[in-house]
């Protein structure tokens, strides 16, 4: 029964992924990401979904997330033009988010009944699960848009910040019910850089300030060549979500990934030193790794020194 429920959750997630594909593919720089055209709700957007190459209106079967791509073998049935791999990748990742995030929230916060798997989970568990599902989907949208356009819409950064406030309110309201050392994804290791006496609000505001100042300094020193103000706003909003010192680990992982990816691009001659590489995809991966793997990563690091 539980397995079937998570299969349904995955299917719901792929539907959200299909919606994210519409938003990210129709987004135009300079326009609102939530505009009627970007959401596919205006006449100018083309009405019903259609092939981007030949304009053929898609049938109901061709709109089923993941399944439609497999049935069409990655090509339009009408004009045989190849379909972007973005479609199945985003749909699959979105489906995975809807399954893994509630499972992670249940495990991290010690909710034995499982969030969404039963009606016995505490109210704050459902709230945190929904907030973090929305966070990961927003990070996914930012990942795709920055990869395509080298920019991050302000609306998405503002939405992330709003989700950060929602997460903080839940942590504060139900602080007594939440297990110890769960204010940070680094658990007790966070105490090495953040005294528990700081409180939830101060900790997360400090995370936002650290993220904004760190990336703001990098933009200033690099004169906007390596990254832009959208990256600063993303770090600030994500810092509000992750808190201190989690935001530092997210940034560190992003820089390591960026260095490795940049080296690969240079070695394969796809980029040269000094060329700009979209940083938001790397940062969102670093933030996601901090959420899911922050505690074991820090534990492994200290184990190297016998701690």
208-247 pLDDT, tens per residue? 999 999 999 999 888 777 788 999 999 999 999 999 999 9
Q: Which domain holds residue 63?
A: 1-98
Alpha-carbon distances of 70 from 52, 88, 129, rounded to whole Å: 18, 9, 30
- The alpha carbon of residue 27 and the mean position of all alpha carbons in its chain are separated, in whole angstroms, by 18
288 and 140 assigned to the same domain: yes
Judgement on whether residues 166 and 228 belong to the same structural domain of the protein:
yes
Please report whether residue 93 resides in a domain: yes
What is the reported pLDDT for 302? 84
Same-domain pairing of 79 and 128: no
Q: Is residue 179 part of a domain?
A: yes
Instruction: Single out the residue in 57, 82, 98 at which a domain terminates.
Output: 98
| pLDDT at res. 197 | 61
Q: What is the pLDDT at residue 43?
A: 46
Q: In which region does residue 275 sit, left (phi positive, over 0), alpha (psi from -120 to 50) or beta (all else)?
A: beta
Instruction: Collect the ranges in the chain with pLDDT lower than 70.
Output: 1-2, 35-48, 50-53, 55-56, 62, 113, 195-197, 272-274, 307
| pLDDT for position 45 | 47
Domain tally, the chain: 2
Decide if 43 contacts 70 (C-beta within 8 A).
no
The structure tokens 């010690």 sit at 110
Same-domain pairing of 92 and 152: no
Instruction: Please report whether residue 113 resides in a domain.
Output: no
Same domain, 126 and 272: yes
| Beta-bridge mates of residue 50 | 57
Q: Calculate the alpha carbon distances from 144 to 30, 166, 265, 278 in Å.
A: 16, 24, 19, 10
């Amino acid at each position: 029964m539980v397995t079937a429920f998570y299969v349904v959750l995955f299917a719901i997630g792929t539907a959200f992924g299909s919606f994210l594909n519409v938003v990210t593919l129709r987004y135009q720089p300079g326009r609102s990401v939530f505009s009627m055209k970007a959401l596919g709700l205006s006449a100018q957007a083309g009405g019903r979904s259609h092939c981007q190459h030949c304009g053929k209106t898609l049938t109901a079967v061709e709109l089923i997330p993941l399944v439609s791509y497999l049935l069409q073998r990655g090509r339009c049935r009408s004009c045989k033009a190849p379909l972007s791999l973005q479609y199945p990748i985003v749909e699959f990742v979105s489906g995975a988010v809807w399954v893994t995030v509630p499972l992670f929230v249940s495990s991290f916060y010690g909710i034995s009944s499982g969030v969404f798997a039963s009606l016995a989970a505490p109210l704050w568990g459902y709230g945190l699960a929904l907030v973090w599902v929305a966070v990961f989907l927003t990070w996914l949208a930012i990942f795709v848009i920055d990869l395509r356009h080298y920019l991050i819409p302000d609306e998405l950064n503002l939405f992330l910040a709003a989700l950060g406030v929602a997460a903080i309110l839940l942590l504060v309201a139900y602080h007594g019910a939440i297990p110890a050392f769960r204010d940070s994804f680094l658990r007790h290791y966070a105490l090495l850089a953040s005294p528990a006496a700081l409180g939830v609000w101060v900790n997360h505001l400090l995370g936002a300030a650290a993220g904004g100042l760190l990336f703001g300094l990098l933009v200033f020193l690099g004169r906007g060549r390596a990254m832009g103000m959208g990256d600063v706003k993303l770090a600030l909003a994500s810092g509000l979500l992750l808190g201190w010192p989690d935001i530092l680990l997210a940034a560190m992982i992003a820089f390591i990934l960026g260095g490795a990816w940049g080296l690969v691009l240079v070695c394969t001659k796809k980029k040269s030193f000094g060329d700009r590489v979209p940083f938001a995809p790397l940062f969102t991966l670093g933030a996601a790794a901090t959420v899911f793997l922050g505690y074991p990563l820090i534990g492994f690091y200290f184990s190297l020194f016998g701690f």
